[in-house]
Amino acid sequence: MPLISYSFPLFLLILLILYYLGPRKAQGIILLLGSFLFYLGSGPLGLLFLMFAIFSTYFLAIQMGKERAKSQELIKERGLKGKEKREAEAPYRARIRLFLILGLFLNFGMLVFLKYRFFILENLALLFSIPDIQTGMDGNTLFSVLFGSGLLLPLGISYYTFQSSAYLIDISKAKMTPERNLFRYALFVCFFPQITQGPISRYEELMPQLSEPHAFQRDNVESGLFRMLFGYAKKMLIADRVSVLVAALSENPSQYCGVYILLSILSYTLFMYADFTGGIDIVLGAAKLFGIRLPENFDHPFFSRSLGDFWRRWHMSLMRWFREYLFFPLSMSKVSKCLSSFFRKHFGNAAARRVPLYFSSFLVWFCTGFWHGASWGFILWGLSNCVVLLLSQELSPLFQRFRKRFPWTESHGYHAFEMLRTLLIFSLLEMFEYYPIRSIPGLWGSLFFSFRIFELLNGSFPSGIMKGPEWILLLLSTACLVATGFLSQKKSLEERFLEKSQEGRLAILGILFLCVLVFGVYGQGYEASQFVYNQF
């Protein structure tokens, strides 16, 4: 069921009524059934894959828990300590590791197959010169059923795979005991607001909220509604409107000079931000209606003064996942240690410190890029971000000396410059996502050496993209978005909303609702564009 549809608000309303009017003990079941119903809207086959993820990780976690319990019982019985304890634990740890590997293999295997099979097949075909692979995929064989385009990517598979896998990894590390109640665990995995586009929640932060009963609180419902409407406004007033501009300018980029390319990339950045943060606002707002607080996924990323800072504020739950479950384990793995030893021996300490870090970083950013899209463009996007980050790190001592030498680098003006610089770098690297890779060097060349700002005024701007009032609306709503960004630096918009009187709150909700209804891009004549991140 799409978040932008007539059925979603109706579904939400019915669920809310049942949730608060029904018995408090039944709230979990109501949410679980609602989540299944929500997910069923995307097709019954998708539900099968979701159930597979739930059951496999649930049962494997239980098994891991049993092994741990047996090992602890044995140690306690025999009063083992030190080396004896480690030796006694070894077979149990090995089995726990086996269950973990099995769980990760099954779930990530399913994700890789469903999301990346075309990419893998096409590249294998190129590598081994297999010409007729497309015919095979279009036919009526088992090959075409499995590898053809008929088998669609289940909604939210990247999110629930990451979330359930994180749970499994945490269980294997004994961070918590496995959830015994299958229904509660299922709700953790498939809780409907977050399944479409995150955030990826930790078990220990979400489960207690899903387990405890929630009384109706007007503040939760009103602030949840406010957040949702704000999200709809970002998505429907800004993102869907600016996407038309992006499409027009990126269709045949070689015909445009630098100023239009700059406009295109900044528009794309605006689109990504409004679309993704709008979606997250809807998700967090919807969860808040039920008294559930999901983790924030954005923290004013365009107020960042460096790319590193940016990535600590953008899609925070995904970055946290990669950091905790890929980067740190990689950095502390035997491979990294071997690399470090080798480079220390042959190239010295400086190399020994850097190479494992570079290795882990490249792998993490490769995966980050690949997660975002099954194409070389996305992979290059990830790797190019990694290069810039590592370069920044290497140049960090130089930057520090520069700042010490020139005090004006602490002024607001310089901070503003750093923010703009970060925005530009982010936008430039985003080009890998939506322009053909081969065209990018040329486009960068046009951007820096053929800017021609006066082209904007000589009538060469593509006409018919939007009507005059739509341009004005886009500019006004973007200005409002920037203004709310500044406002929410000191205090979140939600907090400011809750400070208002009852009439003030209702007025804000009413105005937001009417703005979305009247000015939003939806309905006939408009592309029913779903959130960009729904494809993950």
- Residues in touch with another protein (CB under 8 A): 6, 467-470, 473, 502-503, 506-507, 510, 513-514, 517-520, 523-526
Whether the CB-CB separation of 66 and 55 falls below 8 Å is answered with: no
Using the minimum distance from each CB to another protein, give the nearer residue, 413 or 469. 469
Please report how close the Cβ of residue 229 comes to another protein at its closest, in angstroms. 13
Using the minimum distance from each CB to another protein, give the nearer residue, 393 or 529. 529
Please report how close the Cβ of residue 61 comes to another protein at its closest, in angstroms. 43
Whether the CB-CB separation of 348 and 336 falls below 8 Å is answered with: no
Using the minimum distance from each CB to another protein, give the nearer residue, 8 or 52. 8
Using the minimum distance from each CB to another protein, give the nearer residue, 451 or 513. 513
> What amino acid occupies position 410?
E
Please report how close the Cβ of residue 236 comes to another protein at its closest, in angstroms. 10
Query: How many Cβ atoms sit within 10 Å of the Cβ of residue 514?
Result: 11
Conformation bin of residue 43: beta by default, left when phi > 0, alpha when psi is -120 to 50: left
Whether the CB-CB separation of 357 and 331 falls below 8 Å is answered with: yes
Please report how close the Cβ of residue 6 comes to another protein at its closest, in angstroms. 5
Whether the CB-CB separation of 224 and 508 falls below 8 Å is answered with: no
Helix crossing, 157-172 with 44-78: angle to 10°? 10
**Which residue stretches of 178-256 are H helix?**
182-190, 192-195, 203-211, 218-233, 240-250
Please report how close the Cβ of residue 514 comes to another protein at its closest, in angstroms. 6
Using the minimum distance from each CB to another protein, give the nearer residue, 115 or 505. 505
Query: Comparing C-alpha atoms, which of 103, 79, 105, 110 is closest to residue 178?
Result: 103
Whether the CB-CB separation of 326 and 370 falls below 8 Å is answered with: no
**Which residue stretches of 406-467 are H helix?**
412-434, 440-449
Identify each DSSP E strand in 28-168 by its residue range: none
Give the Å distances, CA to CA, from 200 to 43, 282, 283, 468. Answer: 22, 15, 12, 40
Using the minimum distance from each CB to another protein, give the nearer residue, 69 or 506. 506
Backbone angles phi and psi of 407, in degrees to 5: -60, -25
Please report how close the Cβ of residue 334 comes to another protein at its closest, in angstroms. 58
Please report how close the Cβ of residue 517 comes to another protein at its closest, in angstroms. 6
Using the minimum distance from each CB to another protein, give the nearer residue, 280 or 515. 515
Please report how close the Cβ of residue 501 comes to another protein at its closest, in angstroms. 9
Using the minimum distance from each CB to another protein, give the nearer residue, 336 or 478. 478
Using the minimum distance from each CB to another protein, give the nearer residue, 357 or 473. 473
Please report how close the Cβ of residue 463 comes to another protein at its closest, in angstroms. 16
Report d(CA 387, CA 30) in Å as an integer. 47
Please report how close the Cβ of residue 222 comes to another protein at its closest, in angstroms. 11
Using the minimum distance from each CB to another protein, give the nearer residue, 335 or 517. 517
Query: Comparing C-alpha atoms, which of 509, 529, 2 is closest to residue 272?
Result: 529
Quick one: tokens of 256?
Answer: 């445009």
Enter the DSSP assignment of 237.
Answer: I
**Alpha-carbon radius of gyration of the chain:** 25
Using the minimum distance from each CB to another protein, give the nearer residue, 218 or 405. 218
Whether the CB-CB separation of 108 and 321 falls below 8 Å is answered with: no
Report d(CA 515, CA 507) in Å as an integer. 12
Please report how close the Cβ of residue 228 comes to another protein at its closest, in angstroms. 17
